[in-house]
Amino acid sequence: MKGRIPLRLITACAMMAALSVVLNRFCSIHTAGWTIGFAFVPVALIAIVYGPTAGAVVGGLADLIGALLFPFGSYHPGFTVIGALMGAVYGWFLYNRKPVRFFLHILPPALINNLLLGLFVNTVWVSQLYGSRTYWGWFVYRLPEYAVLVPLNLILLPVLIKLAGQIKKYR
pLDDT tens-digit readout, 38-95 = 999 999 999 999 999 999 999 999 999 999 999 988 899 999 999 999 999 999 999 9
Number of structural domains the chain divides into: 1
Establish how many alpha carbons lie within 13 A of residue 28's alpha carbon, considering only the half-sphere containing its beta carbon: 24
| Position 34 in a domain | yes
Model pLDDT, residue 38: 95
**pTM attached to this predicted model:** 0.92
Asked if residue 1 is part of any domain, the answer here is no
**More confident position, 111 or 170:** 111
Give mean pLDDT, residues 111-126: 95
Average pLDDT over residues 86-111: 94
What is the distance between the alpha carbons of residues 134 and 136, in angstroms, rounded to a whole number? Answer: 5
Total residue length of the chain: 171
Q: Is the peptide bond before 77 cis (omega within 30 degrees of 0)?
A: no
Tell me the Cα Rg of the chain. Answer: 16
Residue 1 pLDDT exceeds 60:
no
157 is a domain residue: yes
Distance CA 11, CA 89 (A): 22
Neighbours of 6 (CB within 10 A): 10
Per the domain annotation, does 96 fall within a domain? yes
The overall average pLDDT reported for the chain is 92
Average pLDDT over residues 12-20: 97
Q: Across residues 111-120, what is the average pLDDT? A: 96
**CATH number of the structural domain spanning residue 99:** 1.10.1760.20
Q: Is residue 127 part of a domain?
A: yes
**pLDDT computed for residue 33 by the predictor:** 66
Domain holding 86, by residue range, is 7-170
**Would residue 72 count as lying in a domain?**
yes
Alpha-carbon distance of 143 to 166, in angstroms, equals 35
Identify whether 2 is part of a domain. no
